[in-house]
């Protein structure tokens, strides 16, 4: 008898809670969106991001300290955009933090963001922001080639992206798989170089050769750097900050390549999400995360390059020297990215190789 009662009680509790939980955000949202008059900060903020836990923790703690708003965050990596879209009808997150500008451009068209007007917006170069304030680029993330110095000499190392397809590097290259948001942007930028010359087929054949040379695609950065560190492979490409992290923290003998045609420089954006549960806190966070102070903190503690010139002066010295940047029109990428990525994933990668055991 007791057991039955306990069961029933817990059932009531369970469904009771369920009711409350799914109710609250909706009520908040409907109360806030039409007027937006009240500017008092909510006591909570939810961030969906592509940044590392450590970095998110640092910015969240700083934000909480300044405003008293509690911050919850998750790192969704390559699935960030997909998740924000899936929740469009009932957003659970207030902030989309990280991801390439091409994604932000595409999602702006889908009407997912709530425009904001942070105080530093005017200072920002127009290539780092949406003209209507839907999103702002606050971090420059170069994706660069690198190699293990103990395996290749400077002469032997590739000089440019095109070299990666050369026969001599067969089995020496490793890469993250398409779950990585930075690799997605990199692949698209490489395709774009041929696309704008109307020679997109060249891009596909380059990627096919690259795939032939590829020793392995890894699902995690750890495994990627492990394989380079343990000399399973010599060459790879990754975000500059992760390469530097592994040089400084894990003492890896890595050398960064300043590619002749330039490295892919992703602009990592931040945006407030429309009809989010905590709109005022979201606005405050955009203002906060893009400020020169936080950009400089990211630069000094996490090797992330700022987009604001006023932040740059307080940054590590290496950031002052510019690497060559690949010329990319991110608005074109935003139109083409789904199509290209799907083709790369399902037709180019591993073509004709399935079922063959290595």
Partner 1 sequence: MKKNSFSAILKICCYFVLFWVLIGVIVVPMLNTIGLSFHTESGVDIQNYVDYFSLENNLNVIKNTLFLGVLTIILCGIVGTTLAFYMSFIKVKNQKFIHMILLSPMMVPGVIIVIAFIQLYGESGLVTKSIQLILGLKNIPFHFNGLGGIMFVHTYTQYVYFYLNVYIALKYVDYSTIDAARGLGASRWKIFTSILFPEVLPALLSSAIITFISGISSFSAPNLIGGRYRVLSTQIMIAKANNYMNIASMQVVILMIMGISVMYLIRYYESKCAQESMIRVVPISKQKIEMPLLRWIVNIIIGATIILIIVPIIAIFLLSFVKSSSMMMDIFPKEFGLLNYKKLFSKRRVFKPFLNSINMSIITVVVGLCISIPTAYLTTKRKNKINRIAELLIMLPLAMPVSTIAINLINAFNVKNIFILNHILIGTYWILPIAYIITSLPLFMRTNIIAFESFNTSLEHASRSLGAGPLYTFKRITAPIISPAIISGSALVFIKTIGEYTMSALLYGVYNRTISIAMVNAMQEYDIGLSMSYGVLTILICFLAMTLILKLDKEIL
Q: Tell me which residues in 81-110 interact with partner 1 (CB under 8 A).
A: 81-83, 85-93
- 264 is a site residue for partner 1 (CB under 8 A): no
Residue 141: name the closest of 230, 275, 237, 3 by CA.
237
Spatial contact of 312 and 321, defined as CB atoms under 8 Å apart: no
- 345 is a site residue for partner 1 (CB under 8 A): yes
C-beta of 51 vs 129, nearer to partner 1: 51
Q: Which of 101, 189, 246, 303 binds partner 1 (CB under 8 A)?
A: 246
C-beta of 89 vs 198, nearer to partner 1: 89
Q: Which of 154, 250, 300, 309 binds partner 1 (CB under 8 A)?
A: 250
- 79 is a site residue for partner 1 (CB under 8 A): yes
Site track for partner 1 across 55-74, x = CB under 8 A = --x--------------xxx
- 29 is a site residue for partner 1 (CB under 8 A): no
Cβ within 8 Å of residue 191, ≥6 positions away: 200, 203, 204, 207, 336, 340, 344
Chain positions 271 to 310 lying near partner 1, rule: CB under 8 A, are: none
Residue 29: name the closest of 355, 357, 279, 227 by CA.
279
Q: Which of 102, 193, 227, 291 binds partner 1 (CB under 8 A)?
A: 227
Terminal-residue alpha carbon distance, the chain: 61
CA 13 to chain centroid, in Å, comes to 39
- 77 is a site residue for partner 1 (CB under 8 A): yes
C-beta of 82 vs 125, nearer to partner 1: 82
What are the C-alpha distances in Å from 107 to residues 62, 124, 170, 340, 351?
28, 21, 38, 17, 31
Smallest separation (angstroms) from partner 1 to the CB of 310: 30
Chain positions 8 to 27 lying near partner 1, rule: CB under 8 A, are: 10-11, 14, 18, 21-23, 26
Interface segment toward partner 1; rule CB under 8 A; list 119-127, 244-252, 262-270, 281-289: 244-252
Chain positions 309 to 338 lying near partner 1, rule: CB under 8 A, are: 338
In this structure, the number of other CB atoms found within 10 A of the CB of residue 327 comes to 12
Residue 117: name the closest of 287, 3, 297 by CA.
287
β-strands 113-114, 235-239 pairing: unpaired
Smallest separation (angstroms) from partner 1 to the CB of 337: 8
Chain positions 31 to 50 lying near partner 1, rule: CB under 8 A, are: 46, 48
249, containing H or E segment: none
Site track for partner 1 across 193-222, x = CB under 8 A = -----------------------xx-xxxx
- Pairwise CA distance, residues 336 & 11, whole Å: 49
C-beta of 91 vs 262, nearer to partner 1: 91
State both tokens at 70.
């509690």
């Amino acid at each position: 008898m007791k057991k039955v009662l306990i069961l029933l009680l817990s059932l009531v509790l369970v469904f009771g809670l369920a009711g409350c939980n799914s109710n609250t955000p909706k009520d908040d949202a409907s109360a806030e969106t039409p007027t937006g008059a009240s500017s008092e900060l909510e006591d909570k903020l939810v961030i969906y991001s592509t940044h590392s836990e450590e970095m998110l923790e640092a910015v969240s703690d700083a934000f909480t300290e300044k405003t008293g708003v509690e911050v919850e965050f998750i790192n969704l990596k390559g699935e960030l955009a997909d998740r924000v879209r899936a929740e469009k009808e009932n957003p659970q997150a207030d902030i989309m933090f990280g991801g390439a500008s091409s994604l932000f451009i595409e999602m702006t068209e889908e009407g997912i963001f709530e425009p904001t007007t942070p105080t530093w917006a005017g200072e920002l170069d127009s290539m780092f922001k949406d003209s209507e304030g839907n999103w702002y680029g606050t971090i420059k993330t170069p994706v660069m080639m690198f190699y293990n110095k103990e395996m290749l000499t400077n002469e032997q190392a590739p000089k440019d992206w095109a070299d990666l397809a050369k026969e001599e590097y067969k089995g020496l290259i490793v890469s993250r798989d398409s779950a990585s948001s930075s690799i997605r942007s990199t692949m698209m930028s490489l395709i774009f170089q041929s696309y704008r010359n109307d020679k997109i087929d060249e891009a596909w054949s380059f990627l096919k050769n690259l795939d032939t040379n590829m020793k392995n695609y890894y699902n995690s950065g750890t495994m990627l750097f492990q394989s380079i560190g343990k000399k399973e492979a010599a060459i790879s490409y990754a975000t500059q900050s992760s390469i530097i992290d592994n040089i400084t923290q894990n003492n890896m003998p890595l050398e960064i390549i300043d590619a002749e045609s330039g490295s892919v420089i992703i602009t990592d954006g931040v945006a407030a999400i429309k009809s989010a549960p905590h709109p005022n806190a979201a606005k405050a966070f955009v203002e906060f995360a893009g400020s020169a102070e936080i950009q400089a903190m990211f630069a000094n503690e996490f090797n992330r390059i700022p987009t604001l010139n006023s932040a740059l002066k307080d940054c590590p010295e290496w950031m002052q020297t510019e690497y060559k940047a690949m010329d990319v029109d991110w608005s074109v990428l935003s139109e083409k990215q789904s199509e290209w990525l799907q083709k790369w994933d399902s037709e180019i990668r591993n073509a004709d190789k399935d079922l063959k055991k290595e």
